[in-house]
Structure 1
């Protein structure tokens, strides 16, 4: 199953805030044997966000969305999800209970607004301040604040998506190749892809001290196919006259 993330907020696109959700999402997924397939970003523009969400839902993929679920005028995610799915917003009883539990006698209509969710939504608990996120289908809508969003994403991964853990035997392996041009390796790369059904990648490194050319050359795919492809890759790189060095597997 493909997993994506949607990062929402003008502050990211303008550079006022630096996104941290991408790196953390990769970390949280990797720890559970999962991987990220795509990422999108969108500003606080409701029509554009509605269109973006329609496209995300249309993939059929699981995805996590960060940001814009509050109740200030620049928060559009709840309304955009409802519009994208052609449902109404309604005060969710569990969300209302959480908000009232958080604020007690200080609960106001403005605070309850954060509990108005798409009609078919289910809540995602927020251990930080009890203001929940929400889910609809296989899409999960979380706050933009990392201190809230990351524990909430972990909860989703370990409850609703626990069955996906380590279900994908996708791995990557690579070696350093020295003093080669990518064009010299391209025929080998294509042949290995065709033969083993893996993706062969090359990542040139232009920052090697002394100016020596260095390319990370590797394969990604199922474990058996990658192991077989890498055995041939190592042999053929040496046959082409290039030195190589092993790269330890990533944790």
Structure 2
């Protein structure tokens, strides 16, 4: 299992002129391959901000999926920002250039050809829609903002550059009419007794999982550890005289 940061770049998203579609698909696709989404950032078309974000993920050795900003217009800064953050040159990738020339012929120049300029050392991510490639550089995948192109390219990245993993085991229990404030002590004891698991408490006034007010507790981690923590939580809920049922 790997963890991924997702960057969704574009003023049009932050201004509301377009609605983001990438987050939900990226999450679903990563989980289908047994990987976790560790964070998501929405960034403007501001070079300095994009450079700072990439400098941080490069420093941390993060796996990054970036959507947007790799076109040939003046507001497309992602390719140069990654090169700048990495301290390398933005260079013309000959294979990417050949693909653009084959697709657009004389219309590849003078502008479209710049979409073949990537951080030095990049490999290509094939684009099945119009053959204008993305780039893979130091665990950073640069994908276009168009969903029809980006989503199959994401699938290619995950199957080509990563091995499928296994997500942590999750146990959950729903407590109808539970009150978080009255159960903080129970939660603190559980977390203290089971330091290797992740714990969450999600109160709700009613949703698709349970129509009336409730709390959903979950324990996440290695299967035996998550189940042991949930066993102890259920015992504590029983001791408090609370009803519960297993979440699905």
Matched, 1:217 2:213: no
Q: Which residue of 1 aligns with 2:72?
A: 71
Count how many residue pairs are aligned between Structure 1 and Structure 2: 245
Mapping of residues 153-232 of structure 1, within 5 Å: 153-161=154-162, 163=163, 165-166=164-165, 168-196=166-194, 197-207=196-206, 212-232=212-232
Which residues of structure 2 form unaligned runs of 5+?
none
Q: CA deviation at 1:212?
A: 4.6
CA distance in 1 between partners of 2:114 and 2:16 (Å): 29
Which residues of structure 1 form unaligned runs of 5+?
none
Structure 2 residue matching 1:37: 3-state secondary structure:
strand
Structure 1 residue matching 2:124: 3-state secondary structure:
strand
CA distance in 1 between partners of 2:207 and 2:117 (Å): 54
Structure 1 residue matching 2:36: 3-state secondary structure:
coil
Structure 1 stretch 116-125 or stretch 142-151: which is displaced more? 116-125
Structure 2 residue matching 1:72: 3-state secondary structure:
coil
Q: Which residue of 2 aligns with 1:235?
A: 235
Q: Which residue of 1 aligns with 2:137?
A: 136
Q: CA RMSD in A?
A: 1.8
Residues 3 and 35 of structure 2 are in contact (CA less than 8 Å); yes or no, is this contact kept in structure 1? no
Q: CA deviation at 1:207?
A: 3.4
Q: Which residue of 2 aligns with 1:94?
A: 95
Q: CA deviation at 1:104?
A: 2.9
Mapping of residues 27-66 of structure 1, within 5 Å: 27-66=28-67
TM-score (norm 2): 0.93
Structure 1 residue matching 2:170: 3-state secondary structure:
strand
